[in-house]
Chain A
Amino acid sequence: AQKVTQAQTEISVVEKEDVTLDCVYETRDTTYYLFWYKQPPSGELVFLIRRNSFDEQNEISGRYSWNFQKSTSSFNFTITASQVVDSAVYFCALSEVSGSARQLTFGSGTQLTVLP
Protein backbone atom coordinates (compact mmCIF):
# COMPACT_ATOMS: atom_id res chain seq x y z
CA ALA A 1 0.00 0.00 0.00
CA GLN A 2 1.17 3.49 -0.72
CA LYS A 3 2.19 5.72 2.14
CA VAL A 4 3.57 9.22 2.56
CA THR A 5 5.39 10.35 5.69
CA GLN A 6 6.08 13.93 6.65
CA ALA A 7 7.90 13.56 9.94
CA GLN A 8 8.14 17.29 10.64
CA THR A 9 4.86 18.33 12.17
CA GLU A 10 5.81 21.96 12.72
CA ILE A 11 8.77 24.09 11.70
CA SER A 12 9.42 27.65 12.72
CA VAL A 13 12.06 29.84 11.06
CA VAL A 14 12.95 33.49 10.95
CA GLU A 15 12.43 35.37 7.73
CA LYS A 16 15.24 34.97 5.16
CA GLU A 17 16.32 31.61 6.53
CA ASP A 18 16.31 28.60 4.24
CA VAL A 19 14.06 25.71 5.23
CA THR A 20 13.66 22.16 3.97
CA LEU A 21 10.48 20.15 4.31
CA ASP A 22 10.96 16.40 4.24
CA CYS A 23 8.80 13.85 2.47
CA VAL A 24 9.37 10.10 2.43
CA TYR A 25 7.11 7.76 0.49
CA GLU A 26 6.45 4.06 0.11
CA THR A 27 5.20 2.35 -3.01
CA ARG A 28 5.56 -0.97 -4.79
CA ASP A 29 4.98 0.61 -8.18
CA THR A 30 7.78 1.53 -10.54
CA THR A 31 5.64 4.26 -12.08
CA TYR A 32 4.22 6.86 -9.76
CA TYR A 33 3.83 10.59 -9.32
CA LEU A 34 4.72 12.87 -6.47
CA PHE A 35 3.18 16.23 -5.65
CA TRP A 36 3.52 19.12 -3.25
CA TYR A 37 0.60 21.30 -2.18
CA LYS A 38 0.45 24.44 -0.07
CA GLN A 39 -2.43 25.30 2.25
CA PRO A 40 -2.20 28.93 3.40
CA PRO A 41 -4.17 30.17 6.42
CA SER A 42 -7.11 30.94 4.14
CA GLY A 43 -7.55 27.18 3.75
CA GLU A 44 -7.46 26.48 0.02
CA LEU A 45 -5.12 23.85 -1.39
CA VAL A 46 -2.64 25.18 -3.94
CA PHE A 47 -0.75 22.86 -6.27
CA LEU A 48 3.01 23.52 -6.37
CA ILE A 49 4.71 20.75 -8.33
CA ARG A 50 4.35 17.30 -9.90
CA ARG A 51 7.21 14.87 -10.46
CA ASN A 52 7.11 11.45 -12.13
CA SER A 53 9.18 8.51 -10.94
CA PHE A 54 11.37 8.48 -14.04
CA ASP A 55 12.55 12.04 -13.72
CA GLU A 56 15.05 12.50 -10.93
CA GLN A 57 16.19 15.92 -11.99
CA ASN A 58 15.93 18.50 -9.29
CA GLU A 59 13.69 21.41 -10.04
CA ILE A 60 13.92 25.06 -9.12
CA SER A 61 11.17 27.62 -9.36
CA GLY A 62 12.15 30.96 -7.94
CA ARG A 63 12.79 30.50 -4.22
CA TYR A 64 11.39 26.97 -4.30
CA SER A 65 13.38 23.86 -5.13
CA TRP A 66 12.65 20.16 -4.99
CA ASN A 67 15.06 17.27 -4.51
CA PHE A 68 13.79 13.86 -5.67
CA GLN A 69 15.88 10.83 -4.71
CA LYS A 70 14.51 7.42 -5.61
CA SER A 71 17.31 5.67 -3.72
CA THR A 72 15.97 7.03 -0.44
CA SER A 73 12.32 7.36 -1.53
CA SER A 74 12.36 11.03 -0.69
CA PHE A 75 10.98 14.15 -2.33
CA ASN A 76 12.10 17.10 -0.26
CA PHE A 77 11.09 20.72 -0.68
CA THR A 78 13.35 23.67 0.08
CA ILE A 79 12.35 27.29 0.40
CA THR A 80 15.26 29.67 0.08
CA ALA A 81 15.20 33.03 1.82
CA SER A 82 11.83 32.33 3.42
CA GLN A 83 9.19 35.05 3.70
CA VAL A 84 6.26 35.52 6.03
CA VAL A 85 3.90 34.74 3.14
CA ASP A 86 5.40 31.25 3.00
CA SER A 87 3.70 30.46 6.30
CA ALA A 88 1.33 27.61 5.52
CA VAL A 89 0.77 23.90 5.84
CA TYR A 90 2.62 21.98 3.14
CA PHE A 91 1.50 18.56 1.97
CA CYS A 92 3.38 15.95 0.01
CA ALA A 93 1.29 13.43 -1.98
CA LEU A 94 1.77 10.25 -4.00
CA SER A 95 -0.23 8.82 -6.88
CA GLU A 96 0.25 5.28 -8.13
CA VAL A 97 -1.00 4.11 -11.54
CA SER A 98 -1.46 0.38 -11.09
CA GLY A 99 -4.39 -1.78 -10.02
CA SER A 100 -6.96 -0.42 -7.67
CA ALA A 101 -4.57 1.92 -5.91
CA ARG A 102 -5.48 4.84 -8.11
CA GLN A 103 -5.65 7.16 -5.20
CA LEU A 104 -3.85 10.34 -4.40
CA THR A 105 -2.44 9.77 -0.91
CA PHE A 106 -1.31 12.67 1.23
CA GLY A 107 1.12 12.95 4.09
CA SER A 108 0.04 14.49 7.37
CA GLY A 109 1.48 17.87 6.45
CA THR A 110 4.11 20.23 7.85
CA GLN A 111 3.06 23.51 9.42
CA LEU A 112 5.65 26.11 8.46
CA THR A 113 5.71 29.37 10.36
CA VAL A 114 8.00 32.14 9.13
CA LEU A 115 8.55 34.81 11.74
CA PRO A 116 9.32 38.40 10.76
Chain B
Amino acid sequence: DAKTTQPPSMDCAEGRAANLPCNHSTISGNEYVYWYRQIHSQGPQYIIHGLKNNETNEMASLIITEDRKSSTLILPHATLRDTAVYYCIVRVGGGNQGGKLIFGQGTELSVKP
Protein backbone atom coordinates (compact mmCIF):
# COMPACT_ATOMS: atom_id res chain seq x y z
CA ASP B 1 0.00 0.00 0.00
CA ALA B 2 1.02 3.55 -0.64
CA LYS B 3 2.30 5.42 2.38
CA THR B 4 1.02 8.80 1.28
CA THR B 5 -2.28 10.64 1.27
CA GLN B 6 -3.15 13.47 -1.10
CA PRO B 7 -6.30 15.43 -1.85
CA PRO B 8 -8.04 13.86 -4.85
CA SER B 9 -8.30 17.08 -6.82
CA MET B 10 -7.30 20.74 -6.89
CA ASP B 11 -7.83 23.70 -9.14
CA CYS B 12 -5.35 26.45 -9.88
CA ALA B 13 -5.53 29.60 -11.97
CA GLU B 14 -3.11 29.87 -14.85
CA GLY B 15 -0.04 31.89 -13.88
CA ARG B 16 -0.55 31.37 -10.17
CA ALA B 17 1.42 29.06 -7.92
CA ALA B 18 0.04 25.57 -7.44
CA ASN B 19 0.70 24.11 -4.01
CA LEU B 20 0.09 20.37 -3.79
CA PRO B 21 0.16 18.87 -0.30
CA CYS B 22 1.10 15.34 0.69
CA ASN B 23 0.99 13.55 4.02
CA HIS B 24 3.46 10.77 4.76
CA SER B 25 3.31 10.45 8.53
CA THR B 26 4.85 6.97 8.64
CA ILE B 27 7.90 7.79 6.55
CA SER B 28 11.12 6.15 7.69
CA GLY B 29 14.45 7.87 8.12
CA ASN B 30 15.98 6.49 4.96
CA GLU B 31 12.94 7.00 2.71
CA TYR B 32 12.86 9.76 0.16
CA VAL B 33 9.84 11.71 -1.03
CA TYR B 34 9.37 11.62 -4.80
CA TRP B 35 6.94 13.50 -6.99
CA TYR B 36 5.82 12.38 -10.42
CA ARG B 37 3.03 13.55 -12.66
CA GLN B 38 1.01 11.80 -15.31
CA ILE B 39 -0.67 13.51 -18.17
CA HIS B 40 -3.59 11.56 -19.55
CA SER B 41 -2.64 8.32 -21.32
CA GLN B 42 1.09 8.86 -20.93
CA GLY B 43 3.75 7.39 -18.67
CA PRO B 44 4.60 9.25 -15.46
CA GLN B 45 7.13 12.07 -15.60
CA TYR B 46 9.67 12.67 -12.84
CA ILE B 47 9.43 16.07 -11.17
CA ILE B 48 11.58 16.21 -8.07
CA HIS B 49 12.63 14.30 -4.97
CA GLY B 50 14.11 15.01 -1.56
CA LEU B 51 15.07 13.51 1.77
CA LYS B 52 14.76 16.26 4.35
CA ASN B 53 16.01 19.50 2.83
CA ASN B 54 13.92 21.63 0.55
CA GLU B 55 14.72 21.12 -3.10
CA THR B 56 14.24 23.20 -6.23
CA ASN B 57 14.75 22.49 -9.89
CA GLU B 58 13.57 23.96 -13.16
CA MET B 59 10.14 22.39 -12.79
CA ALA B 60 9.19 22.81 -9.17
CA SER B 61 10.10 23.24 -5.54
CA LEU B 62 9.68 20.65 -2.82
CA ILE B 63 9.13 21.75 0.74
CA ILE B 64 9.47 19.02 3.39
CA THR B 65 8.44 19.72 6.98
CA GLU B 66 11.05 19.40 9.67
CA ASP B 67 9.43 16.24 11.07
CA ARG B 68 9.21 14.90 7.49
CA LYS B 69 5.60 13.86 7.98
CA SER B 70 4.36 16.01 5.14
CA SER B 71 5.54 17.87 2.10
CA THR B 72 4.32 20.34 -0.50
CA LEU B 73 5.09 20.45 -4.18
CA ILE B 74 5.07 23.97 -5.57
CA LEU B 75 4.67 24.78 -9.25
CA PRO B 76 5.55 28.48 -9.17
CA HIS B 77 3.70 29.62 -12.28
CA ALA B 78 1.18 27.02 -13.36
CA THR B 79 0.32 26.73 -17.05
CA LEU B 80 -2.44 24.82 -18.78
CA ARG B 81 0.13 22.15 -19.68
CA ASP B 82 0.61 21.44 -15.98
CA THR B 83 -2.86 19.90 -15.84
CA ALA B 84 -2.16 16.32 -14.77
CA VAL B 85 -2.37 13.83 -11.92
CA TYR B 86 0.42 14.45 -9.43
CA TYR B 87 1.73 11.57 -7.37
CA CYS B 88 3.61 11.89 -4.12
CA ILE B 89 5.55 8.71 -3.41
CA VAL B 90 7.62 7.55 -0.49
CA ARG B 91 10.27 5.36 -1.93
CA VAL B 92 10.89 2.18 -0.04
CA GLY B 93 14.61 1.76 0.31
CA GLY B 94 15.19 5.33 -0.79
CA GLY B 95 18.06 7.08 -2.47
CA ASN B 96 20.27 4.94 -4.63
CA GLN B 97 19.06 1.62 -3.30
CA GLY B 98 16.59 1.05 -6.10
CA GLY B 99 13.44 0.81 -4.01
CA LYS B 100 10.01 0.26 -5.47
CA LEU B 101 7.81 3.17 -6.44
CA ILE B 102 4.35 2.49 -5.00
CA PHE B 103 1.77 4.91 -6.38
CA GLY B 104 -1.16 6.21 -4.36
CA GLN B 105 -4.23 7.86 -5.84
CA GLY B 106 -2.58 11.19 -6.53
CA THR B 107 -4.02 14.67 -6.91
CA GLU B 108 -5.71 15.66 -10.14
CA LEU B 109 -4.61 19.23 -10.76
CA SER B 110 -6.69 21.31 -13.13
CA VAL B 111 -5.13 24.55 -14.26
CA LYS B 112 -7.78 26.92 -15.50
CA PRO B 113 -7.39 29.97 -17.73
Whether A and B are associated in the same complex: the answer reads no
B residues whose Cβ falls under 8 Å from a Cβ of A: none
